[in-house]
Amino acid sequence: MITLYGAGEGFGLPEISPYVIKTEVQLKMAGLTYAKAQASPDEGPKGQVPFVDAAGARIGDSTFIRGYIERTYGIDFDEGLSPEQRATAWALERMMENHYGWALCHERWLDAENFAKGPSRFFDGAPEAVRDATMDQVRLNLRAVGIGRHTDLEIVALGVRSLAAVAAILGDRRYLFGDRPCGADATVFALLASTLTPFFTGELRRRAEGFGTLVAYVDRLMAQFYPEFEWDLEPARRPVAA
C-alpha cells in the first residue's frame, strides 16, 4: 500500500500543493490503490510535500515519486509518445515547475491580500518571528531563482508566455499530446488549477482565464480525476483578452 502525504484540501483546490495534485493524479492514472494523509513539509525526507511511504520506503519529490512508480509497477506514463514528444513533455514540466511555479508563488506569497487569506494560515498559532523568517526565506528564494528580481508586471509577462506555450502545444486536443493523458498532463493540470482557483485574485490568474482552451482543459481533468470535488470557476471563468 502506498500512502501519499500532502497538505490537504484548501484554497478552493483538492490539494493545497500543486505538486501533491500532480502525484495524486499520476497515482490515479496508474490505477494504483493508495491512502492519503496530511503531513507538514519537515516530516518528509526532503523537507517538502508530497512524499510517499511505500512498503516502508519513503520517497520525496514528485518527480522521483513518479520514477519510483514507473520502476516498481512497470508503468510508462509517456507510453505511445514519440522521442520528440517525450522531450517536449519533459521541457513542459520543467517550464511549469521550475519557472512558472515561481511566478505563481510570487502571486500567492508576496501579494498582501492573497497572503492574508492563504499562506498566512499556515502560521496560525505560530510565533510572529517564525512567519517573518519564512517570508524572508520566500523572498530570498524568489530572488535566487531570478523571478524575484523583476517587477510585478514583468513576472506576469513571463508567466503569460508560459501559459501561451502550453496553449500552443495543447491546441484543440483533449490532452497535451492526444487522446490519452501522459505524465506531463498531471503536472500542467496541477499548476493551471492552482492558478485558476477563484480563491485567489491576481493578474496572473486573470490572464490565465483568457486562455479558453486551458480553462476547458482544467475543467476536463478536474472532472476526470476529482469527480467528487466541487470545482466551479463561476463567476470568474469568463475568458478575457490574454
Q: What's 46's domain CATH number? A: 3.40.30.10
What range defines the domain where residue 201 resides?
Answer: 83-225
pTM of this structure: 0.94
231 is a domain residue: no
List CB contacts of 75: < 8 A, sequence separation 6 or more.
30, 69
Residue 79's pLDDT is: 98
Cell representation of residue 165? 506555450
Cα dihedral 142→46→197→206 (10° resolution)? 20
Do 39 and 127 fall into the same domain?
no
Q: Mean pLDDT throughout 138-161?
A: 97
Res 125 pLDDT > 50: yes
CA separation for the pair 128, 141 (Å, rounded):
20
Which percentage of the chain shows pLDDT scores above 70?
Answer: 96
> What is the number of domains present in the chain?
2
Question: Which H or E element spans position 138?
Answer: helix 128-145
Do 88 and 67 fall into the same domain?
no
Integer CA distances (angstroms), 167 to 90, 92, 102, 160, 175, in order: 16, 11, 19, 10, 11
Do 38 and 113 fall into the same domain?
no
